Amino acid sequence: MISEVSPADFRWDGSDPAATVASVRAAAGDADGHDPLDEAAELHLKHHGLSGARLVTAGEDGFALLLGGELSLAVRPDRRRRGLGGQLADAVADETRTAWSHGDHPGARRLAARIGLEPVRELWVMRRPTSTPLPDLAPPEGVTVRGYRDGDAAEVLRVNAAAFASHPEQGGMDAANLAERMAEPWFDPAGLLLAVDDAEPDRLLGFHWTKRHDAEHGEVYVVGIDPAAQGRGLGRLLTVAGLEHLDDGSTREVLLYVEADNHPARALYEGLGFTHAASDTHVMFARP
């Protein structure tokens, strides 16, 4: 029942085995409240298939995706507690270095321990209703906030790399990955807000990339500030500007992801009305 998918057999077109991944993913997401595949894994499958990845399936009941040593695993809710998760984890255990539990599911903790992984990192989802009032903020003198324009990509990548130099996912974004994200249906140039120095209008100080999930839900997708521009209140300014952009009258809630130990960022977001529930915690596991 456990079988590995050949890269030649995987196509992101709705046919099997991609259809099995989509079906299990949807069922698990509905039951658990969290998508078992993160955006990076989805984009890789969509644009690169199984190049540099392994996909193991349990018939139509579950899958294990290994990408760059990181494991994403899901079992259809009505087929759990039958050993399928353990069999899938065992099938890729020799190459697994890290894994995420989206929502800190107790079953995921058991599977992680089974293949020798320990919790090393927590990522919080924080949420804010748009009914919460926002402060009135104006850009500091000499700074303009505007939407993304053609020709801004190089500066966005420069600031992103500097701002997230120690971040294991976001900091690695390159031109190809940026283009893939911008090709997604949700991308809106006006929702990628840039703070620029009026004296050097081609030099970016920071950015806030917003994302709309649907008519009622938005996201503080990425906020990045050039380390050389830190201390000027640009993070708060850009966050508020992005929240104002997302509040179009239909949006009910805005969410964001933040490292649990990033206390300055948490304080900023809490000050703007974001809160966190224990069920909105994602845990990374790794080999000791």
Mean pLDDT of 255-271: 95
Strand runs (DSSP E) across the chain, as ranges? 2-4, 53-58, 62-67, 70-75, 98-102, 118-129, 143-147, 192-197, 200-214, 217-225, 253-259, 275-286
Q: CA nearest 284: which of 126, 99, 103?
A: 99
Mean pLDDT of 236-252: 96
- Given a cut of 90, whether residue 1 has pLDDT beyond it is no
Note the pLDDT tens digit of each residue in 73-131: 999 999 999 999 999 999 999 999 999 999 888 899 999 999 999 999 999 999 999 99
Whole-angstrom Cα distance, residue 228 to residue 165? 13
Q: Which long-range contacts (CB under 8 A, 24 or more apart) does 178-182 make?
A: 178/153, 180/43, 180/46, 180/47, 181/43
Mean pLDDT of 61-79: 96
Note the pLDDT tens digit of each residue in 159-204: 999 999 987 778 889 999 999 999 999 999 999 999 999 999 889 9
Q: Which domains does the chain have, with CATH numbers?
A: 2-116 (3.40.630.30), 127-281 (3.40.630.30)
